A and B are shown apart, each in its own frame.
Chain A
Amino acid sequence: MGLLSILRKLKSQPEKEIRILLLGLDNAGKTTILKKLAAEDVAHITPTQGFNIKSVQSEGFKLNVWDIGGQRKIRPYWRNYFDHTDVLIYVIDSADQKRLEETGYELAELLADEKLAEVPLLIFANKQDLLHASSAAEIAQGLSLHMIRDRPWQIQACSAIVGEGIKDGIEWVSANVKKK
C-alpha cells in the first residue's frame, strides 16, 4: 500500500449518522438481521440478553443499529432507547402465527408512543424461507397496517438467514430517513 493511498483512506469523510432501533418479539430474528447487515456469521446466534449495537456503513450513511432483546421481561426497557431514533425497524417471525396478535399489540404500543411520533417504520416479515410462513400481504392485513397514517411505513418480506430482502429494506430506510 502506498503512502498516498493510506493518506487518502485516513482523510475523514463526513457521513450522516442514522440511529436505527430494531425491535420485535423474542425469536423474531433481530440479531440475525443485525449480524447480516454487518456481514457477520449468522450460524450461531443465541437469544439476546440486554441489547447489541453495531455500526454499519451503507449507501453513504453510517447506520447505528440498536438490537434490543425481545423477551417479555425486557420489553419494558425498550422505551429507554427511543430518544433520537431516526427509523424504527420492527421484525416479525412470519411463521409464528400464534403470536401474531401479541406482536401486533407490541407494535401498536410503539406507534402510540410520542417519543416515536412520525418516525418512519419498516416492518421485516422475516423467515420467508420457512414453508408455513405467512406472506407480507397477509401480515399487513392481519395487523391492519393500512391504518397507519402518521408516518411513512413499509413492509418488506425477507429471510435474514438466507440474506434475502434485507438489502431492499435498508434501501427503503436510506430513502425515507427524515430530512434533518
Chain B
Amino acid sequence: MIAKCSSKMFLLLTQNFKYYLSCLYYYIHPAVKWFLRRTTGLCELQRICYGAPEGAPRNFSVERSLLQSRSKEIQAAVAYLNRTSKERQFKGNKLEFALQYIVETVLVVKKINALAHPKFPILLRQSVEVVWGYNQLEQEIVCLAGTHFDSSNKDHEAKLMELWSLLKPDAPLRSRVTKQWQEIGFQGTDPKTDFRGMGVLGLENLLYFASKYNSSAKQVLAHSHHPQFGYAFAIVGINLTSMAYHLMTEKFAKTHMYNVCSKLPSIDSFHLLYCYLFVEFDKFWIQARPKDIMEFSHIRENFETKIRKILSSNQRAAFKVQVSNDLSI
C-alpha cells in the first residue's frame, strides 16, 4: 500500500519534472540558438540540413524546428503547409507553390544568401515535402478507411474479383456469393461485411499485396491453410490494415516513412508498409507455434508491440518487404 502510494507520488513528481524541463527548454532554447548562430554563422535549419543524417533524423528535426518557429512569417507559411496537406491539395502546382513559399520565407527571415548556400534550399524542400506529404497521406488513408465497400459500386466489385483471380488463378469463382470466399479467408459467403471498419482500404491493401508480391502472397495464403498454424488470410489481412492504419494515425509510422521516402509519400508507400507487416506477421505467427487460432489476439498484440518499439526506439528504422524462399513449417 505504501509502496503503491509512493510510486504514485514519484510519478507525479517526474511528470512535474518533465514540465519544468520543457519550460526551461522554452526559455533557454532561443539563447542557445542565438549563440550557435553567432558562432557558426548558420541558422538552426541550416545546421540541421547540413549536419543531421538524411532521412528521419533530418526530417524530424526540420519538422520540429519549423513548428516551433517564433517568426510570424514562418508560422504563416507553416499554416499554409498544414492546410494544403490536410485538404489533400499538396500536389501538382500547389505543392510547388507551397514548397517555394516555405523555402523563400525561411531564406528571407533568416537572411540566408541562396547563392552562398545553394544546397540548403534543396535539402529544406525535400524534408518539407516528405513531412507534410505524410500528413496528406494520413488524410488519404483515413478517407479510404471511411469509404464503405459497396457491392453496387462496379469499381469495388472489380477489385474484389481481381483479388480472387490473383490468389486463385486456377479456380474460377462459381458465383458472386459462394463458400469459395472462405478459401482465401473471408468469414462467410460474401466478403462485403468483412470489410467493415477498414472499408475500401482493406481491399486495396490486399489487392496490392496480391498483385505486387504475388508469389509471397500465395505463399502466405498457403501457410494460412496449415492444419495447426492456419488462420483466415483475408481477415488477418484486414486486421493488419487496421494495425497499419493506427501506426499512421498515431504517428509511429513517421520514422519508417521519413526514412524510406525521399519525395512525396504516396498511397503505395502505405501499401508497402502493409506488405511488410503481412509477410512479417506470417513469420512471427508461425515462429510462435500457436496452439490454435484462439491465440491470435495476444500474438497479434505482441507483434504490434514489437513493431511499435522498433519505430519509437530506432530513428533509422526503415522496413523493407522481405521476399523469402519458402519458410518450412
Contact = CB atoms under 8 A, between A and B. Distances in A.
Nearest to A31: B197
Given A71-B232, A72-B187, A80 B294 contact: yes
Contact of A6 (B5, B241, B242): B5
Contacts of A26: 187-188, 193
B297 A52 contact: yes
B236 interface: yes
B232 to A, nearest CB: 6
B206 to A, nearest CB: 13
Given A44-B198, A45-B197, A71 B297 contact: no
Nearest to A102: B188
Give the dominant DSSP class at A's interface. loop
A74 interface: yes
A73 B293 contact: yes
B171 interface: no
A67 B235 CA distance: 16
A38 B295 CA distance: 22
Interface in B266-319: 292-297, 300
A52 B300 CA distance: 12
A27 B235 CA distance: 12
Contact of A46 (B5, B188, B196, B231): B196
Contacts of A70: 187
Interface residues of A, number: 23
A50 B296 contact: yes
Contact of A77 (B187, B197, B293): B293
Interface string A55-97: 0000000000000001111100100100000000000000000
Interface residues of B, number: 32
Contact of B295 (A10, A50, A52, A73): A50
A50 B242 contact: no
A47 interface: yes
A27 B197 contact: no
Contact of B293 (A3, A47, A50): A50
B281 to A, nearest CB: 11
A83 to B, nearest CB: 14
B239 interface: yes
A144 interface: no
B293 to A, nearest CB: 6
* Max chain A C-beta neighbours (<10 A), residue from B182, B187, B294: B187
* Max chain A C-beta neighbours (<10 A), residue from B8, B145, B242, B245: B8
Interface of A: 1, 3, 6-7, 10, 26-27, 43-47, 49-52, 70-74, 77, 80
16 contacts: A10-B5, A26-B187, A27-B193, A44-B198, A45-B197, A46-B202, A46-B238, A47-B196, A49-B235, A50-B293, A50-B294, A50-B295, A71-B235, A72-B182, A72-B188, A77-B294
Q: Shortest 3 CB-CB distances between A and B: which pairs? A: A50-B296, A71-B187, A27-B193
